[in-house]
Structure 1
Amino acid sequence: MTEYQVIDRQEDFATAAESLARGHGPVAVDVERASGFRYSQRAYLVQVFRRGAGLFLFDPPPIGDFSALQAAIGEVEWVLHAASQDLPSLRELDLSPVTIFDTELAARLLGHERVGLGAVVESTLGISLAKAHSAADWSTRPLPQSWLEYAALDVAHLIDVRDALVEELQEQHKTEIAAEEFAAVLERLPKPPREDPWRRLSGLHTVRGRQSLAVAKELWSAREDFARAEDVSPGRLVPDRSLVAAIRANPKTKRELGALKDFTGRASRTQLDRWWEAIERGRATEVLPPERIQSDTLPPPRAWIDRNPAADARLKTARPRVEEIAEALGMPTENLLTPDTLRRLAWSPPEPIDEGSIAEALLAAHARRWQIAHTAQVIASAFVDSVQTVETTAENSS
Structure 2
Amino acid sequence: MPPADDARVTVGDDAPDARPALVALDTPRDGVPPVVATPDALAEVVAAFAAGTGPVAVDAERASGHRYGQRAFLVQIRREGAGTALVDPAALPDLSSLGDAIADAEWVLHAASQDLPCLAEVGLRPALVFDTELGSRLAGFQRVGLAAVVEQLLGLSLAKEHSAVDWSTRPLPEPWLRYAALDVEVLVDVRDALAAELEQQGKLDWAREEFAAVAAAPPAPPRVDPWRRTSQLHRVRNRRQLAAVRELWQARDRLAQEQDVSPGRILPDAAIIAAVTGTPATPRDLLELPGFNGRGARRHIGVWFDALTRARKLSDADLPPHTLPSEGPPPPRVWGERDPVAAARLARCRAAVTAIAAEHSLPVENLVAPDTVRRLTWSPPAGPGPDGLPDQGQVEAFLREHGVREWQVALTAAALTASMPAPGPDDPVLAAPADDDATAAAGPDA
Determine if the TM-score, normalized by the shorter chain, exceeds 0.5: yes
3-state secondary structure, aligned to 1:79: strand
When structure 1 is superposed on structure 2, of 63-72 and 352-361 the one drifting more is: 63-72
Instruction: Name the CA distance, whole Å, in 2 between partners of 1:318 and 1:189.
Output: 29
Residue among 312, 320, 332 paired with 1:289 = 320
When structure 1 is superposed on structure 2, of 85-94 and 224-233 the one drifting more is: 224-233
3-state secondary structure, aligned to 1:263: coil
Can you list the C-alpha shifts for 1:36-80, whole angstroms capped at 9, x where unaligned?
222110111110000011011111111222122112112211010
Match of 2:373 in 1: 342
Deviation at 1:393, TM superposition (A): 6.0
Question: What letter corresponds to residue 424 of structure 2 in structure 1?
Answer: Q
Can you list the C-alpha shifts for 1:267-322, whole angstroms capped at 9, x where unaligned?
21111222222223222333222333333565554553343221222122222322
Residue among 382, 389, 392 paired with 1:355 = 392
- Shift in alpha-carbon separation, 1:178–1:205, aligned structure 2, 3 A: closer
Match of 2:202 in 1: 173
Question: What letter corresponds to residue 186 of structure 2 in structure 1?
Answer: H
Judging by fraction of residues, say which structure has more helix.
Answer: 1
**Alignment coverage as a number of residue pairs:** 393
- Shift in alpha-carbon separation, 1:389–1:45, aligned structure 2, 3 A: farther
- Shift in alpha-carbon separation, 1:393–1:59, aligned structure 2, 3 A: closer
Residue among 370, 379, 384 paired with 2:407 = 370
Alignment of structure 1 residues 252-263 onto 2, 5 Å: 252-260=281-289, 262-263=291-292
3-state secondary structure, aligned to 2:323: coil
Instruction: Name the CA distance, whole Å, in 2 between partners of 1:328 and 1:261.
Output: 49
Match of 1:21 in 2: 50
- Shift in alpha-carbon separation, 1:390–1:74, aligned structure 2, 3 A: farther
Deviation at 1:252, TM superposition (A): 2.7
Check the 8 A contact 2:52/2:79 in 1, yes or no.
yes
Does residue 210 (structure 1) correspond to residue 239 (structure 2)? The answer is: yes
Match of 1:70 in 2: 99
Check the 8 A contact 1:245/1:263 in 2, yes or no.
no
Q: Once the two structures are aligned, what percentage of the paired residues are identical?
A: 50
Match of 2:176 in 1: 147
Deviation at 1:221, TM superposition (A): 0.7
Can you list the C-alpha shifts for 1:326-367, whole angstroms capped at 9, x where unaligned?
233232222111222222222222222210111111112111
3-state secondary structure, aligned to 1:44: strand
Instruction: Name the CA distance, whole Å, in 2 between partners of 1:220 and 1:347.
Output: 34
Instruction: Name the CA distance, whole Å, in 1 between partners of 2:428 and 2:91.
Output: 70
Match of 1:329 in 2: 360
3-state secondary structure, aligned to 1:114: coil
Alignment of structure 1 residues 1-398 onto 2, 5 Å: 1-3=28-30, 4-5=32-33, 6-260=35-289, 262-286=291-315, 287-296=318-327, 298-352=329-383, 353-384=390-421, 386-388=422-424
Instruction: Name the CA distance, whole Å, in 2 between partners of 1:83 and 1:360.
Output: 28
Instruction: Name the CA distance, whole Å, in 2 between partners of 1:93 and 1:316.
Output: 45
Instruction: Name the CA distance, whole Å, in 2 between partners of 1:166 and 1:155.
Output: 17
Give the unaligned 5+ runs of structure 1: none
Check the 8 A contact 1:309/1:390 in 2, yes or no.
no
Q: TM-score, normalised by structure 1?
A: 0.92
Can you list the C-alpha shifts for 1:92-150, whole angstroms capped at 9, x where unaligned?
11110111111111111122222111121122222111111112221122222211111
Instruction: Name the CA distance, whole Å, in 2 between partners of 1:220 and 1:59.
Output: 31
- Shift in alpha-carbon separation, 1:62–1:245, aligned structure 2, 3 A: same
- Shift in alpha-carbon separation, 1:290–1:45, aligned structure 2, 3 A: same
Deviation at 1:261, TM superposition (A): 5.2
Question: What letter corresponds to residue 370 of structure 1 in structure 2?
Answer: W
Instruction: Name the CA distance, whole Å, in 2 between partners of 1:244 and 1:314.
Output: 39
Question: What letter corresponds to residue 361 of structure 1 in structure 2?
Answer: F
Instruction: Name the CA distance, whole Å, in 1 between partners of 2:308 and 2:129.
Output: 48
* Root-mean-square deviation over aligned CA pairs: 2.2
Instruction: Name the CA distance, whole Å, in 1 between partners of 2:428 and 2:64.
Output: 53
Check the 8 A contact 2:291/2:297 in 1, yes or no.
no
Check the 8 A contact 1:17/1:72 in 2, yes or no.
yes
- Shift in alpha-carbon separation, 1:161–1:212, aligned structure 2, 3 A: closer
Deviation at 1:157, TM superposition (A): 0.4
Can you list the C-alpha shifts for 1:202-248, whole angstroms capped at 9, x where unaligned?
23333344333323221111101111111211111011121222223
Check the 8 A contact 2:328/2:375 in 1, yes or no.
no
Check the 8 A contact 1:298/1:344 in 2, yes or no.
yes
Can you list the C-alpha shifts for 1:160-180, whole angstroms capped at 9, x where unaligned?
111122222222222221111
Give the unaligned 5+ runs of structure 2: 1-27, 384-389, 431-446
Check the 8 A contact 1:79/1:162 in 2, yes or no.
yes
Instruction: Name the CA distance, whole Å, in 2 between partners of 1:323 and 1:246.
Output: 43
Can you list the C-alpha shifts for 1:17-42, whole angstroms capped at 9, x where unaligned?
11111110110000111122221101
